[in-house]
Structure 1
Amino acid sequence: MRVLITGATGLIGSKLCSLCREEGIKINYLTTSKSKIENQDDYQGFYWDPKNDVIEGGCFKDVHTVVHLAGASIAEPWSNSYKKTIIKSRTRTAALLHKKLSENSHEVENFISASAIGIYPSSLEKLYFEDETAVADNFIGEVVKKWEASADDFETIGLDVAKIRVGLVLAQDGGMLEKIKKPISLNMGAALGSGKQWQSWIHINDLAEIFLFAIKNNLTGVYNAVAPNPVTNKELTKNLASQMGKSVWLPNVPTFALKTLLGEMSQIVLSSQLVSSKKIESAGYNFTYNNLSRALGDLT
């Protein structure tokens, strides 16, 4: 079996590639950096330049499934131009893949796209499932709606589509955890805003395993990729500090201060999404990291 992966050298992609190779699944990957191209039987790189609709021929050869992970980080300052980059890095790349698949014969049957739980409206009380139709009335909601629409387009060319809505990723290097750890390591850790906002997290290993599970089981539809036991921001901060042997003694960082400091981007840390993992579990996936303490113990 061979898959094509975009964003293969990123946080999720690199972990997924390792898992695939361990399982004997061969990988073609797309990169915008020619220096990152490798030429191995089970790990073959291809150059692409989505801005100019360029994609190297042969990337779809023998490929059964495309996994689309490419996308600019949302954890950078949201200038108007960068907000466009965030959207285009997800939708333009998908459109290029769609165009090339439409124009050429291929054996691709499945398209699996990353997505995000940020599509759900912020709520301190509501538990969100995949069939929720309301969309967050903010920039992240707009991003995810367009992101998922670009994935749905692949159904028009006969592909089965799966969308994996990713929660707060906990990883040793990169992701949100790295940013949270810095002030805590200086004994300057504090809950953000009210601290009551729900954070539906997932360990990087489980996240990569869910994408592998989707590949091996030809999943279709929408799935939340979050651990079974979400926590509040206050609980996350205290638990992480405890794992690091630090204390949380400062008062919460006020909401107005976060909005002043981060502007519109403050929605990333202030939004509350209480998200269910039941659907992916019912499909047969078993989480390795069910609770936060165990996940943080592995990562700190």
Structure 2
Amino acid sequence: MKIALAGGTGFVGSYLTEALKQKGHEIFILTRNTQNKTAADQVKYVQWLNDGDAPEKELEGIDAFINLAGESINSGRWSEGRKKRIIKSRTQSAQEVNRILHNLKESPNDVIQASAIGYYGTSDTKFFTEEVTAAGSDFLAETVYKWEQTAHEGKLPNCRLVFTRFGIILSKNGGALPKMVLPYQFFAGGKLGKGIQWMSWIHIEDVVKAILYCLENKKIDGPVNFTAPNPVQMNEFGKTLGAVLHKPHWLPLPGFAMKMMLGEMSMLMLEGQHVTPKKLLSAGYSFSYPHLKDALEDIY
């Protein structure tokens, strides 16, 4: 297959690129700057999101479009300016994907659009599957709602649109996990906030495998929760992480301290949601890492 991949040089995109190459696909990575990026077997870099760019000229004949582009939410405090950039980076990339699709002579059959479980809002007591249609009311829920709506507005007839609602992705090389490990490495790990907040996580290997699964299984469409089938509460996560690292889990970090350090961004650790992947399981997907201990042991 010929696949356009936006965000192919990012955290998830770099893993996905390697998996697509192994499957023998031809990949067109959309990037703002193609300088110092050398095309290789199966991979070509296409410039986009700059004035005058016309990536559609190089994307004729693609079979699928995967959009993972968007500014990271966990790399700095959420100032008002940064919150606007986070939303803009997602809606702008989705708008550009729509524009490209509408300008291709023959549109692809499949579009996979990154999203997040932040859509549901946070709760200690509610359980969420894809059957929940109402979005939450916090900043992340607003961001994801606008992100998905923008992508949906440009949906073409006879074109399948999948939203990959990512949970907290576990990997040694990116995402939130390295920051969560840091206190344990200094023997200062412990309960974060109240500790009962749910953490809906997924191993990076399952992220990539599930994207490929959605690409190949044409009956899957709409929102798809990318979370392992066994969420855990934050205190259990910390205990399991400490055990895997052979480090103590003993020093609690109160919520007010995290809010002082991180501001509104502290909600990523202090709030959570119990999300399960009903669509993936119903479609027959088999998780490589359905249980947290096995996932962390593989990573560390």
Matches of 1:122 and 1:231, distance apart in 2: 14
Pair 1:8-2:8 in alignment: yes
1:37–1:47 CA contact under 8 A, matched in 2 = no
| Gap runs ≥5 in structure 2 | none
Q: CA RMSD in A?
A: 1.5
Matched, 1:23 2:23: yes
> 1:124 maps to which residue?
124
Contact 2:87 2:147 in 1 (8 A): yes
Q: 1:136 maps to what in 2? A: 136
Kept in 2, the 8 Å contact 1:111–1:154? The answer is no
Measured in 1, the distance between the counterparts of 2:178 and 2:164 equals 23
User: For the Cα contact (< 8 Å) 2:29–2:43, is it kept in 1?
Assistant: yes
Find the counterpart in structure 2 of residue 230 from structure 1. Answer: 231
2:119–2:136 CA contact under 8 A, matched in 1 = yes
Please give the alpha-carbon distance, in whole angstroms, between the structure 1 residues aligned to 2:96 and 2:10: 20
Q: Is the 8 A contact 1:31 1:37 kept in 2?
A: no
Partner of 2:181: 181
Who is 1:221 aligned against?
222
Amino acid at match of 1:293: K
Partner of 1:201 in structure 2? 201
Residues 1:274 and 2:274 aligned together: yes
Q: Distance in 1 between matches of 2:112 and 2:215?
A: 8
Instruction: State the percentage of identical aligned residues.
Output: 36
Query: Quick one: distance in 2 between partners of 1:225 and 1:172?
Result: 18
Are the structure 2 counterparts of residues 126 and 36 from structure 1 closer, same or farther at C-alpha, using a change threshold of 3 Å?
farther
Q: 1:33 to 1:156 in 2, by over 3 A?
A: same
Deviation at 1:158, TM superposition (A): 4.7
Q: 1:53 to 1:191 in 2, by over 3 A?
A: farther
Residue 33 (structure 2) pairs with residue 33 (structure 1): yes
Q: Distance in 2 between matches of 1:130 and 1:225?
A: 10
Aligned length: 298
What is the distance in 1 between the residues matched to 2:293 and 2:136?
29
- Measured at CA, do residues 36 and 29 of structure 1 come closer, stay the same or move farther in structure 2, by a change above 3 Å? farther
Name the CA distance, whole Å, in 1 between partners of 2:145 and 2:238.
30
TM-score computed with the length of structure 1 as normaliser: 0.95
> Does the C-alpha gap of structure 1 residues 164 and 53 become closer, same or farther in structure 2, counting only changes over 3 Å?
farther
Q: Contact conserved, 1:191 with 1:234, CA < 8 A, in 2?
A: yes
Of stretches 6-15 and 153-162 in structure 1, the one that deviates more from structure 2 is: 153-162
Q: Which whole-Å CA distance do the structure 2 matches of 1:36 and 1:291 have between them?
A: 40
Alignment correspondent of 2:111: 111
Q: Structure 2 matches for 1:32-51, cutoff 5 A?
A: 32-50=32-50
Q: Take 2:107 and 2:278, find their aligned partners in 1: how far apart are those partners? A: 32
TM-superposed deviation, 1:56: 3.1
1:155 counterpart = 2:171: no
SS at match of 1:288: coil
Cross-structure match for 2:67? 68
Q: Which amino acid aligns with 2:178?
A: E
TM-aligned CA deviation for residue 100 of structure 1 = 2.5
Q: Contact conserved, 1:119 with 1:145, CA < 8 A, in 2?
A: yes
Structure 1 residue runs of 4 or more that deviate by more than 2 Å after TM superposition? 35-41, 52-59, 156-159
1:38 CA displacement: 3.0
Letter in 1 for 2:237: L
TM-score by length of 2: 0.95
